[in-house]
């Protein structure tokens, strides 16, 4: 199965990596230093995030820096906004139903 952005944020370590990188670009080593888990484990998470396009890598000299791909991050936001729209619409319809009930009471 193709890895997607939603699987990516399901994991707390990956969410932490994303918030670290939200502030600035970092090398794999400096990212790993922020976690208690092994360097290898952190590296796996980074690769997961790269595979689903949430992170981009950039070479500067001999070092690789990772940074966030903001476009991809917006996908999650999109679903949240759609759900919000759904509730808005539902509640607007509920307003209509309630207005009718109120009218019947009078």
Partner 1 sequence: MRNILRMNFSVDRKNKKIKVEREFDVPVDLVWSAWTESDLLDQWWAPKPWKVKTKSIDFKDGGFWLYAMISPEGEKHWSRANFKEITPKERFTSLEAFCDENGNVNHDLPKSHWENQFIEHKSSTFVHTVIRFNELSDLEKMVEMGFEEGFRSALTNLDEIFKNTGND
Binding interface with partner 1 (CB under 8 A): 4-7, 9-10, 15, 76, 79-91, 93-99, 101-102, 105
Contact by Cβ (8 Å): 46, 66 = yes
How near is the Cβ of 18 to partner 1 at its closest, in Å?
A: 11
For partner 1, the closer CB: 41 or 99: 99
How near is the Cβ of 85 to partner 1 at its closest, in Å?
A: 4
Q: How far is the CA of 102 from the CAs of 9, 63, 89, in angstroms? A: 45, 68, 20
For partner 1, the closer CB: 9 or 20: 9
For partner 1, the closer CB: 23 or 60: 23
């Amino acid at each position: 199965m193709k890895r997607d952005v939603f699987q990516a944020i399901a994991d707390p370590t990956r969410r932490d990596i994303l918030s670290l990188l939200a502030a600035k670009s970092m090398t794999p080593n400096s990212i790993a230093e922020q976690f208690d888990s092994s360097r290898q484990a952190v590296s796996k998470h980074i690769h997961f995030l790269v595979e689903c396009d949430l992170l981009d890598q950039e070479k500067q000299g001999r070092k690789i820096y990772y940074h966030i791909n903001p476009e991809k991050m917006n996908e999650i936001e999109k679903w949240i906004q759609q759900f919000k729209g759904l509730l808005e619409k539902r509640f607007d319809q509920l307003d209509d139903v309630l207005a009718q009930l109120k009218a019947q009471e009078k």
